[in-house]
Structure 1
Amino acid sequence: MTTIRITRAGGSRSILKLHDILVERASSLPLSLVQLTARIAVAEVFWQSAQTKLASWPVTLQLFAFEYRLPLIDPGLAAIMATAVELSGAVMLAFGVLSRLASLMLLGVVATIQLFVYPGHWAEHLMWASLLLLILSRGPGYFSVDHLVARRIRVGG
């Protein structure tokens, strides 16, 4: 175990050494753990959103008709599509099943929300998009059904 001491003498070297130690330790964090936490975090957001829609469907329809007002799509159809994508995407991400497809689906939801519904909430949407882009670009990680299937296919059955 490395002892970290910051002293006044040689201060900049001590801070650089501390930085190097922190980077080394952070770099040893398994990417699969980061991928798992990203999947669970985003899945929870969209699962809760879908549950809220389902809990009061008449209110959901009113929101899509009068507040969200998506262009070129019937509010009832938009509500059904949004709820279906949120539910299926959340489950797919949580278990790591077709995770890249789920990420794409939910990125579409995030883009729609950002562009047409709540453009002022860009920081929150950027956070969701960042996690989804991590999964899209790096995959779901070791702790996923996708990984098990890919490993089984490579082994040959």
Structure 2
Amino acid sequence: MTTMHITPASGSRSIYRLHDRLVEWATALPLSIVQLGARVAVAEVFWQSAQTKLGSWPVTLQLFAFEYRLPLIDPALAATMATAAELSGAVMLSIGLLSRLASLMLLGVVATIQVFVYPGHWAEHLMWASLLLLMLSRGAGFVSVDHLIAQRIRAGG
């Protein structure tokens, strides 16, 4: 990856030097730190959502039946599937286990929420989807069970 340096035509060069130093500092940040932060942030959102559902299951069933109203699926089944996806996806992302699969699963949850439940909350959903797409495309990073398993496989056992 190349670092872009800005060269002024005239005037003070100190602001350009400051910019170049900031770019170099940001470029040196390990991607694994970004991946870890993304995993923890998204996992927390879905973990809390699942805990809320489990905390008051009768209310959850009512929400799925009367507010969320997903087409072609029984509300009780939809509530169970959503809660299971949120719980398992959050745990998998937290520890970085099968993170690409977890990301894909939670992207499905986000898409369902966006299309059928709260289409007006697109900015929040886009933020979640962006972090999940980072995990899907780049994996969990070095601080993950996925990385430990990959190392073990490469080492021959």
Structure-to-structure mapping, 1:1-157, within 5 angstroms: 10-11=11-12, 13-157=13-157
Q: TM-score, normalised by structure 2?
A: 0.92
Could you tell me how far 1:17 is from its partner in structure 2? 2.3
Matched residues in 1 for 2:14 and 2:127: separation? 33
One-letter identity of the residue aligned with 2:15: I
Matched residues in 2 for 1:123 and 1:77: separation? 28
Structure 2, unmatched stretches of 5+, are 1-9
Matched residues in 2 for 1:91 and 1:49: separation? 13
The secondary structure found in structure 2 opposite 1:66 is helix
One-letter identity of the residue aligned with 1:110: V
Q: TM-score, normalised by structure 1?
A: 0.92
Matched residues in 2 for 1:54 and 1:131: separation? 25
Matched residues in 1 for 2:44 and 2:17: separation? 38
Could you tell me how far 1:21 is from its partner in structure 2? 1.2
One-letter identity of the residue aligned with 2:24: E
One-letter identity of the residue aligned with 1:133: L
How many residues of Structure 1 are paired with residues of Structure 2 in the alignment? 148
Identity of aligned residues (%): 82
Could you tell me how far 1:16 is from its partner in structure 2? 2.5
Matched residues in 2 for 1:42 and 1:56: separation? 22
Could you tell me how far 1:111 is from its partner in structure 2? 0.4
Could you tell me how far 1:100 is from its partner in structure 2? 0.1
